């Protein structure tokens, strides 16, 4: 769930929410003659059906149902078949040859071939080479970070991807393969305006056929889907105004799955008949972002230049008790945060603790502010260096009650420093636009001081790391951080061939951002969900240990494992629940996981049940388990804002 990335994608679309309890569009109980409908609830509205225009978890969720990735993510986020059935890699690791599923078709019956994949990747590659962004710019970095230099389709079932150097991120791209016969007339200038209204033509397990903003998106089973089919004939992604109304719908049986509950709601649901609660990991973090834009903006910008000063921002960190926030706001779920790579999630193996962690100490925060030149006046007001009392605007979104509660704690703590804080709540689209700087368009003013929001990361932290480069200002960046040394480190880690070397560089990047107090990470997030067991079975966490069953904009895989309540799981679903090794051994369907190919040996090894994981100078392709949750924003790091 991308970086579910917080590119500009989230900010540009209007978000509308119901003003009363949501009425589900169909009866809760299906009869033998009616379709079996999976009803999935979230408080995050959908911003776009065009994959290039979304920066929200809900958007990733929609396009991962509509379309296939070239390579999908399996039970433990390992590489499994997607649009491509298998792949081989050349001995030098710089050429990947993908084989499509024979006879594959788009949902409208048109043949789905390697040319569609070539066109999709080439379109993005052309934008990258031209230094342009497609739509909100959330998907372009996947191709850029993978180092793709060329794509060809020598025959309808073969796609050849050439890299500038060995790079496993070619198997980790959240880039949907699009039907050329639908999208082929679009240009870089027009594709951002393409609505892609339902009915959507795709190759994924379900296709959107109806979308009512602020209410729901209705998906129906793709009759031409190449892989294992889940039990649900239809999927309703239902948008709720509040989590309270969503929980009531779950309890009454009008809903099968509810996303992103509060800790109190989750605890209250424990023991309810036919309901299972899940406290999993979302590979996400919630942060206090500070407006560090370094230039004056007429009629906009931060209220004080103090926010440009790392010493001022650092001092504020000592007036934030992250443990109290976790205990009081999250009821103990979640982990006090430190760096932009969360602990316990899919990207956990890249996390490096800061060498000088801050701790809560109001007296020390006051000393640091005094030493940095931010003195108190006779009225006890903290002054900036221009002699103005500090009165900071702290904004957050209406979809995150936890963020609103955290804002009240921060307002009180900063008040003890002599800094007045005024809080305000906006819907996610409005806040996204408020955050944008002039680089995103002349109409944007970045008129804010502090924001509490979150990021959802991909299993690999690359897109999150990229959001702090100078080039990200005006698209993904909400901190406006720009440091040429950091940019150089980003390029170094992206080209590192040894995982240990790459982690060392990524650790240095995390430390640099921590020292400069670009963010104050409040906590690494939990994913608190609940689902019913009286209509569907086959629920499986992704990852199997420490994850959650469906949604979150990470993969469509677990939707294909669902069974009707009381029905036996299919052989491949049963194998998947036993773990990736058992899944691979089963090999009964195209949906069974295919391990990544080996980089060593004569002409490369075909991806399949007997293939060994790709090893390129120690780069592991099998991704670690997700334990804590958001880089979609969620929106995905690069997206912002959680469901």
Q: And the tokens for 136?
A: 């909100």
pLDDT value of position 33: 60
Burial class, 614, CB count within 10 angstroms (exposed 0-12 / middle 13-18 / buried 19+): buried
| pLDDT surpassing 90 at residue 100 | yes
Collect all residues with Cβ–Cβ distance below 8 Å to 270 and sequence separation of at least 6.
277
**DSSP class of residue 92?**
T
Runs of H (alpha helix) within 114-254: 114-129, 140-146, 180-183, 243-252
Q: What is the mean pLDDT of residues 361-390?
A: 98
Mean pLDDT of 80-97: 97
Q: Identify the helix (H) or strand (E) that includes residue 282.
A: strand 275-290
Q: Compute the distance between CA of residue 290 and CA of residue 513 in angstroms, rounded to an integer.
A: 12
Report strand pairing: 391-397 vs 420-426.
parallel
Say how far apart CA 442 and CA 553 lie, in whole Å.
31
Across 471-478, average pLDDT? 90
Give strand pairing partners of 425.
396
Least confident of 6-10, 337-341, 343-347, 465-469: 6-10
pLDDT in tens, 230-288: 999 999 999 999 999 999 999 999 999 999 999 999 999 999 999 999 998 778 999 99
Among 517, 522, 520, 519, smallest CA distance to 322 is for: 522
- What percent of the chain has a predicted confidence (pLDDT) above 90? 70
Nearest to 450 by CA among 317, 599, 554, 586: 317
**Residue 320 pLDDT level (bands cut at 50, 70, 90):** very high
Q: For residues 475 and 137, is the Cβ–Cβ distance under 8 A?
A: yes
CB distance 56 to 9 below 8 Å: yes
Q: Is the peptide bond before 482 cis (omega within 30 degrees of 0)?
A: no
C-alpha Rg value of the chain to the nearest Å:
24
Contacts of 264 (CB under 8 A, 6+ apart): 331
Could you say which DSSP state residue 239 is in? Answer: E
- Tokens 């540009």, residue located: 12
The region that residue 616 occupies, defined by phi over 0 for left and psi between -120 and 50 for alpha, beta otherwise, is beta
Point out which residues pair with 520 in neighbouring strands: 288
**Predicted local confidence at residue 593, as pLDDT:** 30
Cα distance between the two ends of the chain: 10
| Cα gap 64→185, rounded to integer Å | 23
- Average pLDDT of the chain, as a whole number: 84
Rounded CA-CA distance 6/148 in Å is 23
Q: What's CA 336's distance to the chain center, in Å?
A: 20
Those residues with Cβ within 8 angstroms of residue 30's Cβ, 6 or more apart along the chain or in another chain: 36, 37, 535
Model-level pTM greater than 0.85? no
């Amino acid at each position: 769930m991308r970086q579910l990335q917080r590119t500009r994608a989230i900010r540009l679309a209007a978000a509308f929410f119901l003003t009363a309890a949501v009425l589900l569009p169909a009866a809760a109980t299906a009869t033998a003659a009616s379709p079996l409908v999976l009803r999935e609830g979230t408080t995050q509205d959908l911003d776009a059906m065009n994959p290039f225009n979304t920066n929200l978890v809900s958007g990733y969720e929609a396009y991962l149902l509509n379309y296939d990735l070239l390579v999908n993510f399996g039970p433990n986020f390992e590489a499994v078949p997607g649009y491509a059935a298998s792949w081989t890699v050349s001995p030098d690791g710089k050429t990947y040859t993908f084989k499509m599923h024979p006879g594959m078709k788009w949902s409208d019956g048109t043949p789905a071939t390697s040319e569609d994949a070539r066109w999709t990747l080439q379109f993005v590659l052309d934008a990258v080479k031209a230094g342009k962004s497609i739509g909100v710019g959330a998907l372009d970095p996947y191709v850029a970070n993978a180092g793709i230099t060329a794509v060809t389709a020598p025959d309808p079932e073969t796609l050849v991807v050439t890299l500038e150097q060995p790079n496993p991120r070619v198997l980790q791209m959240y880039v949907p393969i699009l039907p050329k016969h639908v999208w082929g007339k679009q240009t870089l200038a027009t594709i951002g305006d393409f609505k892609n209204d339902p009915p959507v033509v795709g190759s994924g397990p379900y296709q959107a056929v109806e979308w009512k903003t602020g209410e729901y998106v209705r998906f129906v089973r793709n009759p031409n889907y190449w892989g294992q089919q889940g039990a649900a004939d239809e999927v309703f992604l239902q948008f709720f105004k509040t989590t309270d109304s969503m929980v009531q719908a779950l309890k009454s049986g009008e809903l099968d799955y509810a996303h992103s509950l509060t800790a109190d709601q989750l605890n209250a649901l424990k023991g309810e008949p036919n309901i299972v609660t899940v406290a999993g990991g979302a590979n996400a973090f919630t942060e206090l972002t500070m407006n560090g834009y370094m230039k004056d903006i007429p009629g906009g910008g931060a209220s004080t230049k103090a926010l440009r000063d790392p010493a001022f921002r650092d001092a504020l960190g000592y007036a934030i008790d992250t443990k109290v926030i976790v205990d009081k706001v999250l009821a103990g779920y979640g982990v006090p945060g430190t760096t932009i790579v969360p602990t316990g999630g899919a990207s956990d193996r890249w996390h490096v603790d800061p060498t000088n962690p801050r701790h809560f100490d109001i007296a020390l925060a006051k000393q640091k502010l005094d030493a940095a030149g931010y003195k108190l006046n006779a009225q006890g007001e903290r002054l900036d260096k221009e002699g103005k009392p500090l009165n900071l605007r702290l904004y957050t979104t209406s979809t995150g009650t936890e963020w609103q509660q955290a804002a009240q704690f921060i307002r009180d703590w900063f008040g003890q420093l002599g800094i007045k804080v005024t809080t305000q709540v906006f819907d996610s689209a409005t806040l996204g636009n408020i955050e944008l700087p002039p680089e995103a368009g002349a109409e944007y003013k970045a008129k804010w001081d502090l924001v509490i929001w979150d990021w959802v990361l991909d299993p690999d932290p690359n897109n999150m790391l990229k959001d702090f480069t100078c080039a990200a200002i005006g698209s993904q960046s909400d901190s406006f951080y720009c440091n040429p040394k950091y940019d150089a480190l980003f390029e170094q880690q992206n080209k590192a061939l040894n995982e240990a070397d790459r982690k060392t560089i990524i650790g240095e990047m995390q430390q640099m951002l921590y020292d400069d107090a670009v963010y104050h990470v409040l906590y690494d997030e939990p994913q608190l969900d609940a689902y019913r067991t009286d209509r569907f079975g086959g629920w499986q966490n992704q990852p199997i240990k420490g994850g959650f069953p469906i949604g979150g904009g990470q993969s469509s895989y677990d939707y294909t494992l669902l069974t009707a309540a009381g029905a036996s799981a299919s052989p491949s679903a049963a194998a998947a629940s036993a773990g990736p090794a058992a899944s691979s051994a089963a090999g009964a369907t195209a949906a069974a996981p295919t391990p990544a190919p080996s980089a060593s040996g004569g002409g490369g090894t075909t991806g399949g049940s007997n293939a060994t994981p790709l090893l390129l100078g120690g780069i592991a392709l099998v991704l670690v388990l997700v334990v804590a949750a958001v880089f979609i924003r969620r929106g995905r790091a690069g997206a912002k804002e959680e469901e």
